[in-house]
Amino acid sequence: MDNFTSKDSVAMDSKIQKLVILFTFEKMAIPLTEATVLDVCSSENDWLSYMECKQYLSELIDTNLVYRVPKGEYLNITQDGISCLSLFYTRIPTSIRDEITAYARDNRMRFKKRQSYFCDYSKNADGTYTVIMKINSENATLMELKLVVANRQLAKFLYKSWVDKASQTYALIHDTLLD
């Protein structure tokens, strides 16, 4: 079962597919949005079909093996989910466990940055753009900046560069204000 794809998920029963989702949470070791879980498990890796992943994620929430982080859109594995996984993770095919482990190792920081450093922009009535940039922790917004820029090109530039410059910007503002 080395080249596992979603069509092979028929061979796995629902319990094993739920374990795949729990194992993904455990290996990523950060809260994830539902959209991220669906992308990681179905679109990017074909460990599960999209519809099965959506259904089983909902069931994991209903049975308190996964929970919604308060005041947010993020999900994470519960202590019961971790206990359940520790008892049954060997039922997940080794090739899939290895894929999940490697994927988490290679992509965890990308997802952590994406969650911690939020940016969006919108057009104003006068033709300018408002760019909203945030730095979030698990429980709160640490910093939020709103900048009005002259055009979409500048808004897109800020949008694309925010993830790489957010921590430097925070440090500069923090140090400047506390100096």
Q: Which run of H or E residues covers position 4?
A: none
Percent of the chain at pLDDT exceeding 70: 91
Alpha helices (H) in 89-151, listed in sequence order = 94-116
Point out which residues pair with 132 in neighbouring strands: 120, 146
Instruction: For 53-90, write each residue's pLDDT tens digit.
Output: 999 999 999 999 999 987 667 899 999 999 999 999 89
Number of domains within the chain = 2
Q: How confident is the model at residue 118 (pLDDT cuts 50, 70, 90)?
A: confident
159, 76: one domain: no
33, 87: one domain: yes
68, 126: one domain: no
Q: Which is more confident, 7 or 93?
A: 93
125, 66: one domain: no
Query: Using CA of residue 166, residue 103, residue 28, residue 105, what is the dihedral sign?
Result: negative
Instruction: For 137-168, write each residue's pLDDT tens digit.
Output: 766 788 899 999 999 999 999 988 888 888 88
80, 102: one domain: yes
* Structural domain harbouring 92: 6-112
Beta strand spans in the chain (E) = 32-33, 66-68, 74-77, 117-123, 129-136, 141-149
Instruction: For 13-22, write each residue's pLDDT tens digit.
Output: 889 999 999 9
14, 87: one domain: yes
pLDDT attached to residue 171: 87
Average pLDDT over every residue of 119-134: 93
132, 87: one domain: no
Domain boundary among 112, 127, 158: 112
Q: Is 1 among the domain residues?
A: no
Q: Is 143 among the domain residues?
A: yes
147, 105: one domain: no
Q: Which is more confident, 69 or 1?
A: 69
Q: How confident is the model at residue 99 (pLDDT cuts 50, 70, 90)?
A: very high
Average pLDDT over every residue of 119-130: 94
102, 126: one domain: no
Q: Whole-angstrom Cα distance, residue 41 to residue 93?
A: 15
